[in-house]
């Protein structure tokens, strides 16, 4: 249930003055009568209204920047996910005539948010303190790519459990029973949820996954190559593999070709993301598309409303992934 917070409209209604008058009093601007100042201050005290610092800056024309905080990891600027987030936020900022400030977080260094009207946190990985600190200072914040249950903050996420379920059921529909998976980083919510959705679907189908068919990756091509070499060297190798990112899926396909293993005749591969690699690789990759650009773009629109004071309720939204069928999956040959 969304929590309604006291906003400037409530103060204006109680004080029986205009929103502009309330804004002028809060920002200590001239041209307000002593009588109206007293009414606004009384309403603020009664409602325990705490003015939004960033909204005040915006009203005075001094701050209209959107901060994008992204946890740092190796290869971030070669990551389809990161590039799509940056592209989506940047495009929406251009539409709303806002500046974008990009910050790569190490999870430890405090944020200098004085120049940010609001902040988008692209996932919460070891930087929860930065989010909580920003919220405590009443800076409008929104989290993307993470379902946040224990902090009172808006979020827009991807339904990764459903994504894992989609991948498993598509491979099962071909009659595959020996299905392996190369996970993403299971310390991330996305990685854990994709794996959870996949395993639940397999369990519902009555198929037990041998522990050696679960290879813990980290979204990198390096981990995918190690996984592929291990899985393809098995005496009873899998007939299908769910790689939990397209980067890993394409590396597994590359290893298969190097070892003389045909895709999809000998092994079916499904990825996750729908990056350009999925379409233009050596074989069209069937994948689960997550709407990364749309998620980032929508986040800016919601944050814009929060900064301007036109949204006073929390948003909790999980966007659905979808199956994109290409050429990398088929009926098992054995």
Rounded Cα distance, 17 and 23, in Å: 10
C-beta atoms surrounding 129 within 10 Å: 12
Q: Is residue 215 part of a domain?
A: yes
Q: Is the pLDDT of residue 20 over 90?
A: no
> How far is residue 268 from each of residues 191, 208, 242, measured CA to CA in Å?
21, 18, 9
In a domain, 2, yes or no: no
Threshold 0.85, pTM exceeds: no
Same domain, 134 and 104: yes
pLDDT digits (tens, 9 = 90+) for 34-85: 999 999 999 999 998 877 655 555 455 446 789 999 988 777 788 888 999 9
What CATH number is attached to the domain comprising 29?
1.10.260.40
Q: What is the pLDDT of residues 278-316, one digit of tens each?
A: 998 889 999 999 999 999 999 999 999 998 888 878 899
Structure confidence by residue, pLDDT tens digits, 100-115 = 999 998 877 778 777 7
CA separation for the pair 167, 205 (Å, rounded): 13
30 contacts: CB under 8 Å, gap ≥ 6 = 24
Q: Return the percent helix, strand and coil in the chain, to nearest 5.
A: 45, 15, 40
CATH at 91: 3.40.50.2300
The three-state secondary structure class of 293 is: helix
With respect to residue 167, please indicate whether it lies within any of the assigned structural domains: yes
The answer to the question of residue 194 being in a domain is yes
Instruction: List the one residue out of 123, 111, 187 whose CA is nearest residue 155.
Output: 123
Which domain does 309 fall in, by range?
65-159+292-320
pLDDT-derived band of residue 3, with 50, 70 and 90 as boundaries? very low
Written as six digits, the tokens of 98 are: 């806002």
In a domain, residue 149? The reply is: yes
User: Could you give the CA distance from residue 64 to residue 55 in angstroms, rounded to a whole number?
Assistant: 9
Q: How far apart are CA 123 and CA 190, in angstroms?
A: 9
Assess whether 187 and 272 both reside in one domain: yes
Which pLDDT score, from 0 to 100, does residue 319 have? Answer: 97
- Domain for residue 92, yes or no? yes
The full DSSP string for 121-181 is EE--SS-HHHHHHHHHTT--EEEESS---SSS-EEEEE-HHHHHHHHHHHHHHTT--SEEE
Over the chain, what is the mean pLDDT? 90
332 located within any domain = no
**283 and 136 part of one domain:** no
How far apart, in whole angstroms, are the C-alpha atoms of residue 248 and residue 156?
A: 25
Q: 133 in a domain, yes or no?
A: yes
Question: Are 153 and 268 part of one and the same domain?
Answer: no
Residue 2: predicted pLDDT: 43
| Whether residues 78 and 106 fall in one domain | yes
Residue 146 and residue 252 in one domain: no
Task: Check whether residue 222 and residue 173 sit in a common domain.
Answer: yes
Q: Looking at the structure, do residues 144 and 197 belong to the same domain, yes or no?
A: no
Domain identity same for 297 and 270: no
Domain count, the chain: 3
């Amino acid at each position: 249930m969304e929590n309604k917070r006291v906003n400037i409209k409530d103060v204006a209604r109680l004080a029986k003055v205009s929103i502009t008058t309330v804004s002028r009093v809060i920002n200590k601007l001239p041209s307000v009568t002593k009588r109206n100042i007293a009414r606004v201050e009384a309403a603020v005290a009664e409602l325990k209204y705490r003015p939004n610092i960033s909204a005040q800056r915006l009203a005075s024309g001094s701050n209209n920047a959107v901060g994008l905080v992204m946890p740092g990891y190796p290869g971030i600027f070669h990551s389809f996910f990161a590039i799509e987030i940056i592209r989506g936020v940047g495009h929406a900022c251009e539409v709303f005539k806002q500046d974008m400030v990009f910050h790569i977080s190490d999870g430890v260094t405090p944020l200098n948010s004085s120049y940010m009207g609001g902040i988008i946190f692209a996932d919460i990985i070891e930087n929860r303190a930065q989010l909580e600190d920003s919220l405590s200072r009443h800076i409008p914040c929104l989290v993307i790519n993470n379902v946040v249950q224990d902090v009172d903050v808006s979020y827009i996420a991807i339904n990764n459990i459903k994504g894992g379920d989609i991948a498993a059921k598509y491979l099962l529909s071909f009659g595959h029973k020996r299905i392996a998976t190369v996970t993403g980083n299971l310390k991330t919510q996305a990685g854990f949820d994709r794996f959870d959705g996949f395993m639940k679907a397999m369990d519902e189908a009555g198929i037990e996954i041998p522990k050696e068919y679960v290879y813990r990756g980290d979204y990198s091509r390096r981990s995918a190559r190690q996984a592929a070499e291990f899985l393809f060297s098995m005496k009873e190798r899998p007939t299908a593999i769910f790689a939990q990112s397209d980067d890993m899926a394409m590396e597994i396909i590359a290893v298969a070709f190097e070892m003389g293993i045909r895709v999809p005749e000998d092994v079916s591969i499904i990825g996750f993301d729908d990056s350009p690699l999925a379409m233009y690789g050596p074989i069209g990759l069937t994948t689960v598309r997550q709407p990364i650009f749309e998620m980032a773009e929508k986040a800016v629109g919601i944050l814009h409303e929060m900064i301007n004071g036109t949204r006073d309720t929390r948003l909790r939204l999980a966007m659905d992934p979808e199956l994109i069928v290409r050429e990398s999956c088929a009926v098992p040959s054995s």
